[in-house]
Every structure is written in structure tokens, then in C-alpha cells.
Structure 1
């Protein structure tokens, strides 16, 4: 009995349908849009956090 025969053969017939190239590209585009929107929301949320100005963050070399 080869590997392709026997009880494992019945399980392989219940595979997921093959997604075409258009479906794959649409899925990637949708995921990109979701991540882009989440990144914009996170950037707006962190923009309200106080950050030090350049002068305050610069070490003083004249001390």
C-alpha cells in the first residue's frame, strides 16, 4: 500500500477551495487597507502625547 492509498485519501478530498489570483490579490489589498487604517488611528492617538522639543532634547555642550 502506497502513501496515497488508504484512510488518508478520504481526508484529502475535503480540502479548501482553491483561491484564484484575483481573490488572493483582493485579500492582500483588504489586509493592507485594514493595517493602514489601524496605523493611522495609532498615529493620531500617539500624536497627543507630549514629546520634548528639539531644544529640550538636545544635550547641552556649553555646561
Structure 2
């Protein structure tokens, strides 16, 4: 069951790639940016966010 809409999934993926790139630079906060990027990328791919589930929020269209 998806609780993330397509526009938000695309935005999460874009932000995830930016964070992962930043984590690989020598001056970036590697651990925090890397974990944040991985979390956003995973939720963008799967389409389900555990935080949305816990708060009862949903940006996906009703099916």
C-alpha cells in the first residue's frame, strides 16, 4: 500500500541523490547525509513512508 504520491516520490529521489553525492565529497557530513539519502531513496522506490504511517498522513491518491 503506497502512501507517497508520484510528485513527492520524484522529489525524494532528487533530494536523495543530492545527499548521497554530498556524502561522497570530502567536505560533506558523510554519515548523516548518507543515511538521510538512503532513507529518502528507499522510500521513493518503495512508495511507502513509515513516518507517514505513524502520523496517519498520505499524499498518494485514493484508489
> TM-score with structure 2 length normalisation?
0.34
Greater RCO structure (CA 8 Å; 6+ sep): 2
* Higher gyration radius (CA): 1
Q: Which structure carries more helix by proportion?
A: 2
